[in-house]
Amino acid sequence: MSVKDCKHISIPKISDPDGRGNLSVLEKDILPYEIKRVYYLYDVPSGSTRGGHAHKELQQFLIALSGSFDVVLDDGKERRVVSLNRPDEGLLIPTGIWRELENFSSGAVCLSLVSDVYKESDYIREYADFKSFIGA
Ligand code: TYD
């Protein structure tokens, strides 16, 4: 996989005709996998970094439900930084991409919709192991 395979996906937005705000909805065909688990990051202290790993199989879709943060993507050859700051778009991260989440704004909430249940055995937590994995 390449960082170019990490895609921004727009999430349909329904704006209330009477000015009562917006509603965004994700239906089953928007992602290339069935969502098996949902979790969210919040109360991330300023200056903290999350992520710092890749997955062997798991695919992930991230949404900045509130606030903003940057996702640093790395396929072992190229790095790309994607800023997320809107609740009506998300970032699809396919399998085998190293990711770090940084520059969390105050009050940021990162929603994560993933393709599998939690399995520590699916994580690659050392960058050197990631390089071996993608070289394999
Ligand atoms: P991790 O995925 O490393 O967090 P991040 O990538 O956001 O920095 O998970 C942090 C800790 O939480 C780690 O000890 C595993 C645990 N964890 C669970 O127990 N269940 C889960 O669904 C997730 C995502 C993490």
Q: Strands 60-66 and 89-93, how do they pair? A: antiparallel
Mutate to test the pocket of ligand 1, among 36, 43, 70, 118 (most ligand atoms within 8 A of CB): 118
Query: Measuring CA to CA, how many Å separate 109 from each of 55, 77, 105, 122?
Result: 22, 29, 9, 24
pLDDT digits (tens, 9 = 90+) for 51-87: 999 999 999 999 999 999 999 999 999 999 999 999 9
Q: Which residue positions in the chain have pLDDT lower than 70?
A: 136
Q: Measure the CA–CA gap between 57 and 46, rounded to whole angstroms.
A: 30
Q: Is the CB of 41 under 6 A from ligand 1?
A: yes
| pTM over cut 0.85 | yes
Q: Are 56 and 124 in contact (CB under 8 A)?
A: yes
By CB neighbour count within 10 A (0-12 exposed, 13-18 middle, 19+ buried), where does 63 fall? buried
Fold exhibited by the domain 3-13+32-134: Jelly Rolls (2.60.120)
